[in-house]
Amino acid sequence: MNNPLHSYAAITAYPSTRLQDDQATSHLFNEKNAQAFESLMVQGAECIKETLLGIHKPYTGILPHELKRQFDEVNLDEKLGTLNEALDELKALYLKDAVYFHHPHYVAHLNCPIVIPAILAELILSSINSSLDTWDQSAGGTFIEQKLIDWTIARAGLGAEADGVFTSGGTQSNLMAMLLARDHVCSHKPGHAGNKTEGLPADFKRLRILSSEASHFSVQKSAAILGLGYDAVIPVRCDARKKMDMDDLRRVLDECDAEGLIPMAVVATAGTTDFGSIDPLETIAAICRDRNIWMHVDAAYGGGLLISPKYRDRLAGIEQADSVTIDYHKSFFQPVSCSAFLVRDRRELAHVTCHADYLNPKSQTQEGTPNLVNKSIQTTRRFDALKLWMTLRTMGADALGGLFDQVIDLTRATYPLLERDPRFDVAHTPELSTLVFRYIPEQALTAEQIDATNAAIRKALSRSGRAIVAGTKVGGRQYLKFTLLNPMTTLDDLQGILDAIKHEGVRYVAQQSALAIC
């Protein structure tokens, strides 16, 4: 008969005799490689510093097919060998032609320059590599995230019963909001045990989401993911200020009642992507309260007003929301990704809770173990909260909010430059830090020709690398857009970009006229 002690000894002895690839293990993050880690981090920092000092425009203008040719030559099955070689390749393939959001002439999308304490936090969180799903994988990281959620809740005024969780971005937060709103409505249907148990009720196709025609596309995307379809989202007209029209909201709700439809949520936007407009939150809250409808506030962009020393009052009414989306990687100047979803009643988060004996057993909840996976649709999750934590502990909220105030002030100062110039048509009066406008040539051109001119201007600026400007449609017509999130951008920078827009517009129209003659 075999001696079990002999078998045990053989098992325990195995690790000391295992073969090791010393070259491979030298790349692992551990105490034995601490010196190598420090050396590599210094080399990496030097590479970034060198790149930073050599940037003179936001983009080189390289086209996709031109850059792809370089990647076609890369064989990932053949290693380069040294870090220096890998960094040199990275410079050629990525850093040389990257789009640099910190450059004052990058004025396109909702991408902000980032604060240095958050970059340090990125290094720390990536090195330690905590996963925020369960306490036994994160320990203090759990409390750092929860502290920041509670801090944001207090800033928003959502109350003592509120809770939330960090997310990958506004799209995920909006998805969670619509999921909770859907399941909240369904859980109150007589005879229905809940969507987690029974699935959607038979009449789920009557569910509707109301959002303004200027709201984020993730509302429609969420409806599709949740099995409701794009048609479940009813667009509410905007007024002249690009805000949700309250009379039209009431009209749509009345029509839903008349047709036997079930409005499960109204999505109010605090900072639309194009116009930066903030819907009338207090009025929407009153309407939702009277009709017992879930109110979600998408403050992915405008959430930075929560720490604004000057403009916090523009978010009046957010405290009455049932749920809120915040993107710290927009108006809090954090690296991507760093976002949060907040809900007024923490009990609603049970709709996304699922227990597993190997991860978050019910017994741990009963013991009070704080497993954040219980309120997230993600399992493995980065410690993104550390970035905001290090920022607040280093800079403070007022200084951070002051950066957002600066870009709002810059936008207000830029608006008159556009409004008084006959070569520009401005689509709105700015409320946050976006400006939607288009170039109007001196010549009498058709609407289609003006559209083509503005599209060509944007491409020409990008190709030259002089400036990165966004484009959008207003009433079916092509417009340009400034999204100002860089406190280092000046009025002179923007005047220079406007001059470049006019120059490219004149050049394009002249080219087209010459071609027409030929």
Mean pLDDT of 505-513: 95
pLDDT, residue 17, reads 47
Q: How many CB atoms lie within 10 A of CB 99?
A: 15
Sorted by where each begins, the domain ranges of the chain are 121-395, 398-517
List the structure tokens of 140.
Answer: 């203090």
Report the length, in residues, of the chain. Answer: 518
The pTM assigned to this predicted structure is 0.93
Give the model confidence (pLDDT) of 160-202 as tens digits.
999 999 999 999 999 999 999 999 999 888 778 778 888 888 8
Domains 121-395 and 398-517 share a fold: no
Tell which residue, 397, 333, 331, 339, has the closest CA to residue 116. Answer: 333
List the structure tokens of 192.
Answer: 């229905």
Higher per-residue pLDDT: 192 or 98: 98
Give the C-alpha separation, 297 to 304, whole Å.
Answer: 13
List the structure tokens of 203.
Answer: 């009449």
pLDDT band at 389 (very low <50, low <70, confident <90, very high): very high
pLDDT, residue 21, reads 67
List the structure tokens of 277.
Answer: 């407009």
Contact 219, 267 (CB under 8 A): yes
Give the model confidence (pLDDT) of 304-325 as tens digits.
999 999 999 999 999 999 999 9
Give the model confidence (pLDDT) of 316-366 as tens digits.
999 999 999 999 999 999 999 999 999 999 999 999 999 998 999 999 988
pLDDT, residue 12, reads 47
According to the CATH classification, is domain 121-395 in 3.40.640.10?
Answer: yes
pLDDT band at 296 (very low <50, low <70, confident <90, very high): very high
Pick the CATH number of 398-517 from 3.90.1150.170, 2.70.70.10, 3.20.20.70, 3.30.200.20: 3.90.1150.170
Give the C-alpha separation, 146 to 166, whole Å.
Answer: 9
Tell which residue, 392, 425, 397, 428, has the closest CA to residue 412. Answer: 428
pLDDT band at 91 (very low <50, low <70, confident <90, very high): very high
Mean pLDDT of 493-500: 98
Identify any residues that bridge with 339 across adjacent strands, giving them in sequence order.
167, 327
pLDDT, residue 2, reads 52
